[in-house]
């Protein structure tokens, strides 16, 4: 194996029991009704509204973008989401649909969701997406190299991807469900941040093992340690299996308690989701009307 190409990074080991207990505890905190609306609005502002399906069409992306800029057609008080997240082929359609609205375009790239193709192909994929108008790029970590212990390759690939991004933000998906535990996730987090990631992200949403609050806490602790070591603030994106408002504010609490309120902005925190937005709209409707809504009163995605 080659000598590391990156400056040595210290990785703190993880106390699994303590981590899981802490994550659970943060989830059981009750949110007072007076704070709920603010929390839900913040969650909306932090959403990367996502469609990553083989069946995506320009028309579907256009309607997703309309929903992103104005989540509830009947209520202009609900803020737009942070970004729409699409496949590279759809970036140009999304970019024209959200132009001038403040909603960013994020694109997965680099042989998503496996990341297993030639590095040149992956960086070209990134450059194409950026050229088409992507403001943010979501790539996957090379788990194959990571699990083989070839950390230098992992680091260099992320660094090369960061370079290919140019001015676009780079989010690195660790796919925590495939890394095999908290320790490797923490190590992968440090590696991705050292290689230049602007965000680290939990999952692709393409495997059954989705984001868990404990994994998120593990990554948030890594972000805190990295910020402490280097002074650079890296963002966090939770994705995969986040469908309910309750889950969303669990992540908000977790970020706020671990990294502080300065991480509770769309610049440093994102929720990758599709059906979550409808659940939040139903919750906000319930707060406004005092009655329970239903799926007939939000759009079908």
Partner 1 sequence: MGGHLPVNKTFKLFIGGAFPRSESGHTFQLRSDDGRLLANAARASRKDLREAVRAARSAQAGWAGRTAYNRGQVLYRVAEMLDARRDEFVAVLRDGGRSDESARNEVEQAVDRWVWYAGWADKVHQVLGTVNPVAGPFFNFTYPEPTGVVVQAVPDDPPLLGLASRLAPAIVTGNTSVVLAGEAAALVAMSLAEVLTTSDVPGGVVNILTGDRAGLLPWALGHLDVNAVDLSGAPADLPDEALADAAENVKRLVHGDATAASPSVIAQFLEMKTVWHPIGR
Active-site residue set: 138, 201, 237
In the bound state with partner 1, the residue whose beta carbon lies nearer, of 168 and 248, is 248
In the bound state with partner 1, the residue whose beta carbon lies nearer, of 262 and 301, is 301
Per-residue burial over 102-123, b if 16 or more Cβ lie within 10 Å, else e, is ebbbbbbbbbbbebeeebeebb
Cα 277 from chain centre: 15
Closest separation in Å from C-beta 205 to partner 1: 21
Closest separation in Å from C-beta 281 to partner 1: 12
Closest separation in Å from C-beta 292 to partner 1: 4
> 10 Å Cβ neighbour count for 278?
21
Could you list the residues that contact partner 1 (CB under 8 A)? 290-297
The span from the CA of 278 to the CA of 301, in Å, is 9
The span from the CA of 245 to the CA of 247, in Å, is 5
- Of 202, 149, 214, which is closest to residue 178 (Cα–Cα)? 202
Closest separation in Å from C-beta 295 to partner 1: 7
In the bound state with partner 1, the residue whose beta carbon lies nearer, of 204 and 245, is 245
In the bound state with partner 1, the residue whose beta carbon lies nearer, of 18 and 295, is 295
- Of 292, 298, 247, 285, which is closest to residue 67 (Cα–Cα)? 298
């Amino acid at each position: 194996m080659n000598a590391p190409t990156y400056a040595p990074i210290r990785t703190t080991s993880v106390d699994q029991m303590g981590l899981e207990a802490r994550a659970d505890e943060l989830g059981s905190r009750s949110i007072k009704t007076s704070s709920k609306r603010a929390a839900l609005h913040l969650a909306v502002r932090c959403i990367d509204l996502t469609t990553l399906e083989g069946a995506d069409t320009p028309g579907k992306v256009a309607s997703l973008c309309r929903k992103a800029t104005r989540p509830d057609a009947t209520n202009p008080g609900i803020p737009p989401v942070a970004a729409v997240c699409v496949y590279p082929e759809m970036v140009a359609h999304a970019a024209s649909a959200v132009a001038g609205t403040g909603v960013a375009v994020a694109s997965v790239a680099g042989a998503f969701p496996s990341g297993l193709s030639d590095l040149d192909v992956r960086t070209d994929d990134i450059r194409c997406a950026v050229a088409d108008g992507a403001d943010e790029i979501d790539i996957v970590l090379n788990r194959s190299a990571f699990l083989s212990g070839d950390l230098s390759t992992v680091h260099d690939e992320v660094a090369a991807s960061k370079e290919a991004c140019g001015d676009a933000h780079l989010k690195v998906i660790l796919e925590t469900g495939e890394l095999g535990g908290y320790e490797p996730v923490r190590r992968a987090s440090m590696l991705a941040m050292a290689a230049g990631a602007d965000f680290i992200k939990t999952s692709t949403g393409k495997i059954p093992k989705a984001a868990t609050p404990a994994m998120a806490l593990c990554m948030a602790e890594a972000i805190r340690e990295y910020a402490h070591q280097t002074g650079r603030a890296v963002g966090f994106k939770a994705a995969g299996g986040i469908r309910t408002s309750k889950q969303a504010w669990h992540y908000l609490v977790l970020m706020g308690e671990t990294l502080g309120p300065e991480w509770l902005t769309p610049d440093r925190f994102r929720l990758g989701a599709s059906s979550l937005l409808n659940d939040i709209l139903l919750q906000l409707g319930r707060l406004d009307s005092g009655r329970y809504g239903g799926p007939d009163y939000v759009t079908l995605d």
